[in-house]
Amino acid sequence: MDAYRIAILYKLGEIKPTKPPKEEIHQLNILCRQYIKLVDDCTMYKNNLISLIDQVFPRYNTAFSNITSKASLYILENYPSAEKLLNADKDILITTLATLSKKGLKWAKTKYNALINVAITALKIGCAPKTSEIIIKSAITILKTLMEQKSMIEKEIKAIAENMEEVKLLTTIPGIGIISAAIFISEIRDFNNFKNARKLVAFCGIDPAVVESGKFKGDRVKMSKRGSGYLRRVLFMAALASIRKNRNSKYINPVLYNYYSLKAQSKPKKVALVALMHKIVNYIFAVLRDKKTFRVITPEEHNKLYKQSKLSLVA
């Protein structure tokens, strides 16, 4: 029966030839998926650590906004209770903070005073059980291991991706870094499988779809969410990054920001972000198709270039 069905599909021309991905793409795909898993695990343990710290050191975030920084982890690992922090040698603590942070003694002294205030507050309103010290140390040990593994995988990804022309092209698009580009390329496997941008959009699962089942006819259009969820994740992060400001207070991609702002005026923000993801896929398709680096141009400039290309073809 299976052979018969295959023969029918072949006769109708429905069978499409496939070929295994290149070895470097296969390796990159395995590394990228492991990297994403480690990122999620790090986030989970970081959130777990935050909930523990809220019990042991209320208002700890006033001293360290980033609890996974080297200086913060040193404090939590070596002084996991208010009593131990208050009894710590002041000079040693300040020197260590300055060394780990590389921000100087002035910063370290300010941070030390903030930590002492946190410890005093913890003695008054803290509600941590006696076992919290062990749990904090355990969580930090696991978190450090995960962060080290993530860093190791990231280096391996970059070592492979830096030699891939497709990855280099994608990194020219504002909002897409080398890791995001590597994930995208490793998930689509072979760009030649996509004849147009619509097919790539559909493969990413961000094309519109109406849910229907039997006699039920849906009337709400949603993302189809077919294909790889990893691609949608990368596109979502790229969309958010493209409408942020850089250190010079300029938008990463002013054209996309204007497009998003207009969409957000009449649509919910998430819908506007999905529209932005569509735009980015179109950018990616054009860059990979033409094998040219991306250049930010306004819609007016784009229309002008399009008309010029049409006129040159007629001439």
The arithmetic mean of pLDDT across residues 258-284, rounded, is 93
Residue 222: strand pairing partners: 209
- What is the predicted pLDDT for the residue at 156? 97
Residue (of 56, 67, 58) closest to 133 by Cα position = 56
Q: Which of 89-103, 220-234, 245-259 has the lowest mean pLDDT?
A: 220-234
The first and second tokens of residue 121, run together, are 């507050």
The first and second tokens of residue 284, run together, are 């990616």
- Total domains present in the chain: 2
- 303 & 172 share domain: yes
How many CB atoms within 10 Å of residue 249? Answer: 6
Domain termination residue (choose one: 159, 189, 218): 159
Tens of pLDDT, residues 167-201: 999 999 999 999 999 999 999 999 998 999 999 99
pTM of the model: 0.84
- 106 & 204 share domain: no
User: Comparing 277 with 20, which gets the higher pLDDT?
Assistant: 277
Angle CA 160–68–59, to nearest 5: 155
Residue 16 pLDDT > 50: yes
- What is the predicted pLDDT for the residue at 130? 75
- 124 & 181 share domain: no
C-alpha 250, offset from chain centre: 21
Orientation of helix 269-290 relative to helix 197-204, angle to 10°: 130
**Residue 16 within a domain:** no
Domain termination residue (choose one: 159, 193, 215): 159
- 226 & 264 share domain: yes
Domain termination residue (choose one: 119, 143, 159): 159
User: Comparing 189 with 211, which gets the higher pLDDT?
Assistant: 189
- What is the predicted pLDDT for the residue at 304? 79
Q: How far apart are CA 5 and CA 184, in angstroms?
A: 34
- 75 & 44 share domain: yes
| Length of the chain in terms of residues written | 315
Q: CB–CB of 64/46 below 8 Å?
A: no
Domain residues for the domain of 145 are: 23-159
- Amino acid identity, residue 313? L
- 126 & 174 share domain: no
- 207 & 143 share domain: no
The DSSP code for 253 is: S
- 44 & 129 share domain: yes
**CATH number for the domain that contains residue 152:** 1.10.287
What percent of the chain is predicted at pLDDT more than 70?
88
Could you write out the three-class secondary structure of 140-180?
HHHHHHHHHHHHHHHHHHHHHHCCCHHHHHHCCCCCCCHHH
The DSSP code for 313 is: H
- Amino acid identity, residue 98? A
Q: How far apart are CA 241 and CA 181, in angstroms?
A: 13
* pLDDT grade for 218, boundaries at 50, 70 and 90: very low
State how far the alpha carbon of 312 is from the alpha carbons of 142, 308, 309, in Å. 62, 6, 5
**Residue 11 within a domain:** no
- 190 three-class SS: coil
- What is the predicted pLDDT for the residue at 10? 63
Q: CB–CB of 48/139 below 8 Å?
A: yes
Q: What is the CA radius of gyration of the chain?
A: 26
**Residue 15 within a domain:** no
* pLDDT grade for 17, boundaries at 50, 70 and 90: low
Residue 216 pLDDT > 60: no
Residue 213 pLDDT > 60: no
Residue 154 pLDDT > 60: yes
**Residue 5 within a domain:** no
- 102 & 209 share domain: no
- 192 & 262 share domain: yes
The DSSP code for 192 is: G
The arithmetic mean of pLDDT across residues 109-136, rounded, is 87
* pLDDT grade for 300, boundaries at 50, 70 and 90: confident
**Residue 143 within a domain:** yes
**Residue 189 within a domain:** yes
User: Comparing 10 with 262, which gets the higher pLDDT?
Assistant: 262
Residue 212 pLDDT > 50: yes
Residue 215 pLDDT > 60: no
Orientation of helix 90-101 relative to helix 104-125, angle to 10°: 120
- 51 & 182 share domain: no
The arithmetic mean of pLDDT across residues 80-99, rounded, is 93
The DSSP code for 209 is: E
- 198 & 144 share domain: no
**Residue 7 within a domain:** no
Residue 50 pLDDT > 80: yes
- What is the predicted pLDDT for the residue at 9? 65
- What is the predicted pLDDT for the residue at 155? 97
**Residue 314 within a domain:** no
Contacts of 254 (CB under 8 A, 6+ apart): 296
Backbone phi and psi for residue 210, each to the nearest 5 degrees, phi listed first = -110, 125
Residue 219 pLDDT > 60: no
- Report the chain's mean pLDDT, rounded to a whole number: 88
Q: CB–CB of 121/161 below 8 Å?
A: no
- What is the predicted pLDDT for the residue at 231? 96
The DSSP code for 245 is: B
What percent of the chain is predicted at pLDDT more than 90?
64
Residue 306 pLDDT > 80: no
Residue (of 64, 67, 52) closest to 128 by Cα position = 52
